[in-house]
Amino acid sequence: MVSAQEISQAGQIRDARMRVAVIGCGYVGLVTGVCLAEVGHEVHLVDLDKKKIEMLNSGKAPIYELGLDLLLQSNKPSLHFYSDITEAIQDRDIEVIFIAVGTPSDKEGHADLTALFRAARSLIGLINEKTVVVVKSTVPVGTCDNVAEMLDTQRVISNPEFLKEGTAVKDCLEPDRVVIGHHFDCNDAVDIMIHLYYPIVRGDYDKIVLMDRRSSEMTKYAANVMLAARLSMMNELAVLCEKYDADIEQVRLGIGKDERIGPHFLKAGPGYGGSCFPKDVSALLCMAEKVKVEPIMLSAIKDRNDNQRYHAACKILDYFRWSLQDKRIVVWGLAFKAGTDDARESPALEIIRTLVEKDAMVVAHDPKATETFQEAFGDHDNLSYNGQYGALFGADALVLLTDWDEYKKPNWELIGRSMYKKTIFDFRNIWDREHLERDGFYYESIGRAPSATFFV
Ligand code: UDX
């Protein structure tokens, strides 16, 4: 495989400003488009959702993502939004078209490619022999080959996205690596991709990893399941720590210093969520089953994660001896992680569902994700929403599910005065147990034995 530098040097010097289209204005498409504009490209973004396009045209991002609103404003002249693909592409001499539509799980856990193939099909007749079509959506291995066949061109590139919600803009502008999967005899398409990314990698060709399309598609799944595996392992170790009176936080520091393991992505909690890990583990599981490979590891990663949510809910149920009638339980944190308004596959969905179904009165708060959570959860008589401190009046327990900065150093004096019972379930291990116990709180976390005193 030739390197990015070799290909780029062989290619002619190009105009630095390129014309790009992005289909899909979700977290990936919108952030990619805005960041490409930020580094100097002209970007035409399309989404079928007219409301989204209206918002974007008025200068507002339809999602919460740090720095996104600012970049939308400052790059207004380079950004154009449409709800019609033809209008976005025809007669605009677009060089690169990104497909960044959702590939959610279907009922069986396969990646649902309906939107992706719809987007690809809509390009028939709109592209010319030079256009490069880039699949950014996470897709099963072989999908880019299908897109290439559909469009009758090998200038289809697999370019998976590794950005994280909450730090998406930074991740996109300062990536660890840019994976470009291409057909073996399409070096000029690769050259175009390298020029497109040149201002993002700032000339550091080592960040560009070239490979074949199928390996690139697999790389995206491999990265996500590897990270999910770390979390499931840590969560299982946390359960063992609870039983053997060890402390998962100390274990985390101990193993994180091993250079081979490293300190990142080792925090035990209520289980991973979000739009990627659960969906991608399931999709790879389905891909394994399709080719009759027993997905031993993948099944274990998924099972531990499903179990971890239940394990967290059971801690609350056990404490109240499985009787939650008339208990007022406050939940802080509905987003699947801090820094995002996204509640997809959030542990809060299952944990709150378990509590309300056991007749608890749940009062929830989140700095950004209340609306998306409400949409995903639906209404329930036993669930209401309130301000961070207002929710606590007369509460029997406070449960922390998302480690937002707002929650890290709360006013414990006010909390203690407001609550009926000073009972804390810290499922992100962010609070100081000794300090809380000294102030008369019952404290329970993940991966550490609970306080000795019960109030029930
Ligand atoms: C993930 C991948 O990190 C990213 O590369 C990919 O492009 C999309 O999927 P994202 O879902 O935005 O990104 O969030 P991430 O920060 O990776 O967290 C995923 C889940 O793991 C969250 O539920 C988070 O709370 C959990 N997590 C993360 C932990 O429980 N412990 C940790 O140490 C890290």
Residue-wise pLDDT tens digits, 376-412 = 999 999 999 999 999 999 999 999 999 999 999 999 9
Closest residue by CA, ligand 1 atom 27: 272
pLDDT in tens, 293-326: 999 999 999 999 999 999 999 999 999 999 999 9
Tell me the mean pLDDT in the region 203-227.
97
pLDDT computed for residue 147 by the predictor: 98
231 Cα–ligand 1 center, Å: 9
Nearest atom of ligand 1 to the alpha carbon of 340 = 12
277, amino acid identity: F
- The distance of Cα 298 from the centroid of its chain, to the nearest Å, equals 19
Ligand 1, atom nearest to 402 Cα: 25
At a CB cut-off of 8 Å and minimum separation 6, what does 116 contact? 99, 101, 103, 135, 137, 139, 143, 147
Give the pLDDT score at 111.
96
Task: Specify the pLDDT at position 209.
Answer: 97
Question: Which pLDDT tens digit goes with each residue over 119-146?
Answer: 999 999 999 999 999 999 999 999 999 9
Distance 337 CA to ligand 1 centre (A): 8
Q: What backbone phi and psi angles, to 5 degrees, belong to 439?
A: -85, 15
102 lines ligand 1 (CB under 6 A): no
Global confidence as pTM: 0.94
Q: 164 CA to middle of ligand 1, Å?
A: 7
Phi, psi (5° rounding) for residue 414?
-65, -40
Task: Tell me which residue of 61, 78, 73, 50 sits closest to 27, measured CA to CA.
Answer: 61
Q: Assess whether 276 carries a catalytic annotation.
A: yes
Q: Which residue has the higher pLDDT, 341 or 8?
A: 341
In the chain, the percentage of residues whose pLDDT exceeds 70 is 96
262 CA to middle of ligand 1, Å? 16
For residue 224, which atom of ligand 1 is closest to its CA?
2
Angle at 356 between CA 447 and CA 392, to 5 degrees: 70
The predicted structure's pLDDT at residue 185: 87
Please state the φ and ψ torsions of residue 390, each to the nearest 5 degrees.
-60, -35
Cβ of 337 less than 6 Å from ligand 1: yes
CA-to-CA distance for 425 and 142, rounded, in angstroms?
Answer: 45
CA torsion sign for 198, 115, 94, 169 is negative
Query: In this predicted structure, what is the pLDDT of residue 9?
Result: 61
Probe target for ligand 1 pocket from 64, 248, 277, 309, with the most ligand atoms within 8 Å of CB: 277
Tens digit of each residue's pLDDT (9 = 90 or more) over 41-88: 999 999 999 999 999 999 999 998 999 999 999 999 999 999 999 999
Active-site residue, from 186, 276, 286, 314? 276
Our answer on whether the CB atom of 419 is closer than 6 Å to any ligand 1 atom is: no
